[in-house]
Amino acid sequence: MVWSEYIDEFISFIKASLPSDHKLQSHDLYPGIKINGKSIFIVDDDTTGERVLMDFEKTNKKEPFIKIFENDDEIQSIIEQDHQKSLKNNT
């Protein structure tokens, strides 16, 4: 989860990481989920209604790897994997 007091900071970080002519520059983005301990976000694109994975650890030409999710099952799988990893790290 991304804490609400950091949303504007993360949006600025995301926009600064994208080329100025990238289509997401003009979209309303909301980073709602951050993978624990990684620079990977699940971002709501309020302009298109899509949910987007933005992986700043896996980059392509100095911009984040971006994947548009097909469905909520993909998102749930990522969240579950992250949760299981955090449980293992806390034991």
Q: What is the pLDDT of residue 88?
A: 84
Q: What share of the chain is helix, strand, coil (3-state, %, to 5)?
A: 40, 30, 30
Whether residue 47 has pLDDT greater than 70: yes
Distance (Å) of CA 80 to CA 37, 75, 85, 87:
15, 9, 9, 11
Distance CA 82, CA 71 (A): 18
> What's the whole-number mean pLDDT along residues 56-66?
82
Count of the separate structural domains present in the chain: 1
User: Across the chain, what does the average pLDDT equal?
Assistant: 89
Domain coverage including residue 78? 4-89
Distance CA 27, CA 77 (A): 26
Distance (Å) of CA 65 to CA 20, 55, 90:
16, 5, 29
> What's the whole-number mean pLDDT along residues 41-68?
90
Whether residue 2 has pLDDT greater than 90: no
Which is more confidently placed, 4 or 91?
A: 4
Whether residue 48 has pLDDT greater than 90: yes
